[in-house]
Amino acid sequence: MKAKPFLVAVPAALALALAGCGGSTGNNTDTGSGTNASSAPKDCSSEDVFCIGLVTDTGSVDDKSFNQAAWEGVKAMEGDGIQTKYIETKDAKDYASNLKQFTDQKYDAIVTVGFLMTEATRTAAAANTTTKFIGVDQFQESDVANVTGLVFPEANAGYAAGYLAGLLTKTNKIGVVLGQEIPPTQNYAKGYEQGSKAANPKISVAKVYHPAGDNAFSDSPWGAGEAKKMLAQGADIIFGAGGGTGNGALGEVAKSKGAGESLYCIGVDLDQWDTVPEAHPCLVTSAEKKLTDGTTTLLKQAKDGSIKGGNFNGKTGLAAYHDFDSKIPAEVKTKVADVVKGIEDGSVKVA
């Protein structure tokens, strides 16, 4: 008999909890507005509304990386007659179904982020020929009329970073810690080596790729360990190029003795001053893909109908020097600026 009070109490408490939560069932419709769904959903098949959807790679829109940069590019379009919405992918096998949510609602333009979605994007595009698809970081092997791959010549960004490193190094040894060995990281490494040699022929570059697939771009401890090894071998500038893996390398340099005095690090893809605060002690700049900019440009083209299928080369460059602006000699800055300009107008050849 002693068990009795508990028997009554538990279901009762549960019932209370449930009742309390489902309390206001009346206002179903107006609860839909959150950070994502902006105001009342509009009819995307109408001509007056331009709907832009974004599907993330398996990451969130505040990942301080590609997804966030692309989403910011979408948000820059917000205004009258434009509706924006995103879906965060949780499982790499959901790309197709997440894309379908947007195509079912007749969205006008859909941005997909990351090379893993290349195929899913092209498949969805073939089934929805009136929708414009923008694939961020998706190299198009062949042209599909309504898919535009936003790609970046990583070698150019790497070259600029390498050139700066070549001018700054005191030990004539620099390093680069990369994610998985795939064309984008290979290009970063190639440009970095070339640029550094152009600035300083005596330089030696240590480079290392992450050996395994699934976490190749999120393995900070591994990146930190590799950076530590390179520092021990006398490298004084480390370029971290591989998502979280590279960030681990930046963090390790930042923690080391002499960070910002004799040891420096260079970030990748975005201005990592904003995204990796722990690297502030050593982060001179970042080899940047102007992703937000490129996404907005393509979306504008999609809106006015001038967008073309195939690949679209986004801009690359070096991010601001931030706190190191005063520490870097003026002549170094001019030389680097010249090289960046030279890459852009083609007078500096990066192969």
Partner 1 sequence: MADPDLPPAKDAPAPATEPAPTDTGAAVPVVAERGATPPPTGVLGILVRHQAIVVPILAVVLAFAIGAILIRAQGFNPTYAYEVLFTHSFATESGLLATMQKTTPLILVGLAVAIPLKVGLFNIGGQGQLMAGGIGAAWASYALRDLPAALIVVVAVVVAVLLGAMWASIAALLKTTRGVHEVISTIMLNSIAVGLIDWLVNGGPLSDKGQPFPTSHAVPEGARLLPFLKLIPWGLPVALLLSVVVAWMLKRTTLGFELQTVGRNKFAAGYAGIGTTKATLVAMALSGGLAGLAGAFELLQIEPYRYQNGIAGSLGFDGITIALLARGNPLGTIPAAVLVGAMRAGAPTLQFQLGIRPEVVDVLLAITLLMVSLPVIAKLIFRRHATKQTQLAGSWGA
The runs of H, that is alpha helices, within 213-314 are 220-232, 243-255, 272-275, 291-304
Is residue 42 within the footprint of partner 1 (CB under 8 A)? no
Nearest to 176 by CA among 154, 149, 153: 154
Amino acid identity, residue 328? Answer: I
C-alpha angle 217-220-224 in degrees, rounded to nearest 5 = 125
Give the three-class secondary structure for 88: coil
Nearest to 176 by CA among 198, 199, 206, 148: 206
Is residue 277 within the footprint of partner 1 (CB under 8 A)? no
As given in the structure block, the two tokens for residue 271 are 């201005």
Is residue 258 within the footprint of partner 1 (CB under 8 A)? no
Is residue 36 within the footprint of partner 1 (CB under 8 A)? yes
Q: Choose, by CB under 8 A, the member of 78, 81, 211, 261 that binds partner 1.
A: 211
Is residue 40 within the footprint of partner 1 (CB under 8 A)? no
Give the three-class secondary structure for 18: helix
CB of 300 to partner 1, least distance (A): 25
Is residue 144 within the footprint of partner 1 (CB under 8 A)? no
Is residue 96 within the footprint of partner 1 (CB under 8 A)? yes
Q: Which stretch binds partner 1 (CB under 8 A): 44-52, 63-71, 96-104, 154-162?
A: 96-104
CB of 167 to partner 1, least distance (A): 33
Interface pattern 6-25 for partner 1 (x via CB under 8 A): xxx-xxx-x--xx--xx-xx
The runs of H, that is alpha helices, within 270-350 are 272-275, 291-304, 330-345
Is residue 89 within the footprint of partner 1 (CB under 8 A)? yes
CB of 56 to partner 1, least distance (A): 10
As given in the structure block, the two tokens for residue 297 are 């440009």
Dihedral over alpha carbons 97, 101, 103, 108 (to 10 degrees): -130
Is residue 39 within the footprint of partner 1 (CB under 8 A)? no
CB of 4 to partner 1, least distance (A): 6
Binding residues for partner 1 restricted to 98-137, rule: CB under 8 A? 98, 100-101, 115-116, 118-120, 123
Q: Choose, by CB under 8 A, the member of 77, 182, 328, 332 that binds partner 1.
A: 182
Binding residues for partner 1 restricted to 46-65, rule: CB under 8 A? 58
Q: Which of 66/95 has CB closer to partner 1?
A: 95
Kindly tell me the number of DSSP H helices and DSSP E strands found in the chain: 11, 12
**Range 252-270 burial, b when 16+ CB lie within 10 A, else e:** bbbebeebbeebbbbbbbb
Beta strands (DSSP E) in the chain are: 50-55, 82-87, 109-113, 132-136, 147-151, 173-180, 204-210, 237-241, 264-269, 283-289, 310-313, 316-318
Q: Which stretch binds partner 1 (CB under 8 A): 177-185, 198-206, 258-266, 273-281?
A: 177-185
Q: Choose, by CB under 8 A, the member of 43, 46, 92, 337 that binds partner 1.
A: 92
Interface residues toward partner 1, by CB under 8 A: 1-4, 6-8, 10-12, 14, 17-18, 21-22, 24-25, 27-28, 31-37, 58, 85, 87-98, 100-101, 115-116, 118-120, 123, 138-139, 141, 180-183, 211-216
